[in-house]
Amino acid sequence: MERRLQQLFFALSILALVLIVAAAWQANTPSWKTYQHNFLQLEAQGEPNAVAKAAVLATPPEIHQVMLTGLQRVDRCTTCHLGVEDPTMKDAPEPFRYHANLGSHIPSKFGCTICHGGQGLATDKEAAHGKVAFWPNPLLSNDYIRASCGRCHKEGDVPGVPELTEGRRLFESQGCRGCHKLNGVGGSIGPDLTAEGANHRAPEWLEQHFLTPNAVSAGSAMPNFHFTREQARALTYYMLSLTSEEMGSYYSSVRVIPGPEYGRKLFEEKNCITCHNVGGVGAKTGPDLMGVTTRHSLEWLDEQLVNPELVYPGSSMPAYDLEPNARKALVAYLNSATPADIQLLLAHKNHPLTPEDVGIEAGKADFARFGCAGCHGTELQGGVPNPNAQGGEVPSLLHLSDDYTKDEVIAVIRNGRAPPLDNTAGPTPPLYMPSWKKVLSDEDINRLADFLWSKQEKKKESW
């Protein structure tokens, strides 16, 4: 018995040795070392003499990583993708091929996963490409990769990615905000989309969802907008780009500084001239912006653009949903704006605005901005299906004045309303009129009503 036990002890010792050596061997032969070895072979081929070849081959294996401290990201992709910054590797086999057409987006500065997705921390192929359990963000396929541009380039056109511009335009014009919140503005019938891209839904799912919402998400309240394939693709791109990570500013703190040209574009787009003037050119509702940058500090101006009420109690200026760089650009433009330049801007507008027009224009802008069109239609025609509501669809707003007074309409906008039921025993209709009193001021709502009244179609019948 004692002998057997001693033998068992020694046998277990041998087993322990085998196991620890196996574990060490496993740890010492990760797949990335093979890739680095193969890459060195490839590099050595290009060397002219034996000494240089030997020097290349003697490079010790090591893990390469790009640290993006501001984004709390670490990308180790370049441990295997060794030639991404080496133009001589443009015909090399993957994973060593040179990444062409990057412009200023150098991998060693920008990382990889920010555009491509995947698991930057991983060092084996499957895990790094994110096609493993518990990694929700796999590599984006080539069909959708360009959507990532929109994560940083949040405003204006992105060269080479018309889909993003189109997606943003569709989002604002089709009234998506009526149901969906984006950066704090919008309804709450549908999910908040501020960080939709960070939900890591499959792009294919999103695209199908835009084409036929019910096909991928049974019982969805989202109406079928009958988007074309291209439109669905564009919206998918836009959704993928919404991550709520402050990436644009992270990278711009490194490189891009917003300039006055972009600010001028914003000044025009946001119709600042509808209320403001510069040196007397423009409207007189708001203050003259000539020299505003010398009258106030940059922080004051920035805050004013975020939340006018807070800086200037009683201000009737709406809060604009601008990202920090856009605000910087706008202030930069205000610094250099001249009356002559404003004349030029106004020359593009067809007709001068009366104060009434200004109100209606503002109402129209709010109608688009808060996504009323999502249900009531871009031309106020209504018609979005709403099962079991009276008429089975969202009502048109073109004949309001037949049945309601302006005050009644204002009350409905303020307080919201559940649609009257078609069949009182049936299910609750998915869509309803939300209450806007917490989002819009009375003045805003009045302007909205003004806008609606300007669009009423006159009754044909007469005495």
Partner 1 sequence: MNLLQEIWQSIVRRDSLSTDKGKSELVFLNVWLHIHPAKVKKENMKFRHSFYLGFITFFLFLILITTGIALMCYYRPYPPQAYQDMKDLQFVVFMGPFLRNMHRWAAHGMVVCVFLHMCRVFYTGSYKKPRQFNWVIGVFLLLLTLGLSFTGYLLPWDQLAYWAITVGTNIGSYAPLIGGQVRELLLGGHSVGEAALLRFYVLHVAVLPSLVILLTIVHFWRVRKDGGLSRPVWKLKPERETLVTIGAPAEAAPLTVKASTTKTYGLMEVVTGKPIFETVSAEEEEDTVFSFPYAFVREAVTLMATVTTIMVMSLFLNAPLEELANPAKTPNPAKAPWYFLGLQELVSHSALLGGVVAPALMVLALIAIPYIDRNPSRRPRDRKWVLWLFTIFVVANLVLIVIGTFFRGPGWALVPPWVHVVGGAE
Partner 2 sequence: MNRRTFFKLSWGTVGLAALVSAIGVSLAAVVRFLMPSVFYEPPQAFKIGTPGDFAFGAPQFLVEEKIYVFHDRDKGFSVASAVCTHLGCTVAHFQSDEKFHCPCHGSVFAADGSVQHGPAPRALDWFEVTLARDGQLRVDKNKVVPPTYRLMV
Instruction: State the residues that interact with partner 2 by CB under 8 A.
Output: 3, 6-7, 9-11, 13-14, 16-17, 20-21, 23-24, 27, 62-63, 65, 67, 74, 76
Counting contacts by CB under 8 A, is residue 15 touching partner 1? yes
Phi then psi for residue 417, to 5 deg, are: -165, 140
Instruction: Please report whether residue 69 would count as binding partner 1 according to CB under 8 A.
Output: no
Q: What's the min distance (Å) between Cβ of 7 and partner 2? A: 6
Residue 134 binds which one of partner 2, partner 1, none, with CB within 5 to 8 A depending on kind? partner 1
Distance, in Å, from the CA atom of 432 to the CA atom of 415, rounded to the nearest integer, reads: 12
User: Phi/psi at 439 (nearest 5 deg)?
Assistant: -100, -40
Closer CB to partner 2, residue 24 or residue 52? 24
C-beta of 121: minimal distance to partner 1 in Å? 4
Q: How far is the CB of 33 from partner 2 (least distance, A)?
A: 12
Which part of the chain contacts partner 1 (CB under 8 A), choosing from 116-124, 208-216, 271-279, 385-393?
116-124
Identify the CA nearest to 284 among candidates 335, 354, 211. 354
Q: Is 28 in the site for partner 1 (CB under 8 A)?
A: yes
Residues 6+ apart with CB under 8 A from 12: none
Q: Which stretch binds partner 1 (CB under 8 A): 68-76, 231-239, 277-285, 352-360?
A: 68-76
Q: Based on CB atoms, which residue is closest to partner 1, 14 or 51?
A: 14
135 is in the binding site of which of partner 1, partner 2, none (Cβ under 5 to 8 A by kind)? partner 1
* 294 near partner 1, rule: CB under 8 A: no
CB nearer partner 2, residue 23 or residue 102: 23
- Binding status of residue 24 toward partner 1 by CB under 8 A: yes
Residue 185 interacts with partner 1 (CB under 8 A): yes or no: no
What minimum distance in Å lies between the beta carbon of 127 and partner 1? 7
Question: In this chain, which stretch among 71-79, 253-261, 350-358, 396-404 interacts with partner 1, using CB under 8 A?
Answer: 71-79
Q: Which residue has the tokens 């443009």?
A: 90
User: What's the per-residue H, E or C state across the chain?
Assistant: CHHHHHHHHHHHHHHHHHHHHHHHHHHHCCHHHHHHHHHHHHHHHCCCCHHHHHHHHCCCCCCCCEEEHHHCEEECHHHCCCCCCCHHHCCCCCCCCCCCCCCCCCHHHHCCHHHHCCCCCCCCHHHHCCCCCCCCCCCCCCCCHHHHHHHHCCCCCCCCCHHHHHHHHHHHHCCHHHCCCECCECCCCCCCCCCHHHHCCCHHHHHHHHHCHHHHCCCCCCCCCCCCHHHHHHHHHHHHHCCCCCHHHHHHHHCCCCCHHHHHHHHHHCCHHHCCEECCEECCCCCECCCHHHHCCHHHHHHHHHCHHHHCCCCCCCCCCCCHHHHHHHHHHHHHCCHHHHHHHHHHCCCCCCHHHHHHHHHHHHHHHCCCHHHHCCCCCCCCECCCEHHHECCCCCCHHHHCCHHHHHHHHHHCECCCECCCCCCCCCCCECCCCCCCCHHHHHHHHHHHHHCCCCCCCCC
Query: Is-contact 267 335, C-beta < 8 A?
Result: no
CB of 129 to partner 1, least distance (A): 13
Nearer to partner 2, 9 or 134 (CB): 9
Site string for partner 1, 118-157 (x = CB under 8 A): -x-xxxx--x------xxx---------------------
What's the closest the beta carbon of residue 196 comes to partner 1, in angstroms?
A: 14
Q: Which stretch binds partner 1 (CB under 8 A): 4-12, 243-251, 284-292, 388-396?
A: 4-12
459 is in the binding site of which of partner 2, partner 1, none (Cβ under 5 to 8 A by kind)? none
CB under 8 A: which stretch of 8-16, 177-185, 203-211, 424-432 binds partner 1?
Answer: 8-16
Residue 23 within binding range of partner 1, rule CB under 8 A: yes
Among 20, 54, 102, 202, binds partner 1 (CB under 8 A): 20
Question: Which of partner 1, partner 2, none interacts with 136 (beta carbon under 5 to 8 A by kind)?
Answer: partner 1
Q: Site for partner 1 (CB under 8 A): which residue of 26, 49, 104, 354?
A: 26
Q: Which of 263, 270, 284 is nearest to 336 (CA)?
A: 263
Per CB under 8 A, residues contacting partner 1 are: 2, 5-6, 8-9, 12-13, 15-16, 19-20, 22-24, 26-28, 63, 72, 74, 76, 119, 121-124, 127, 134-136
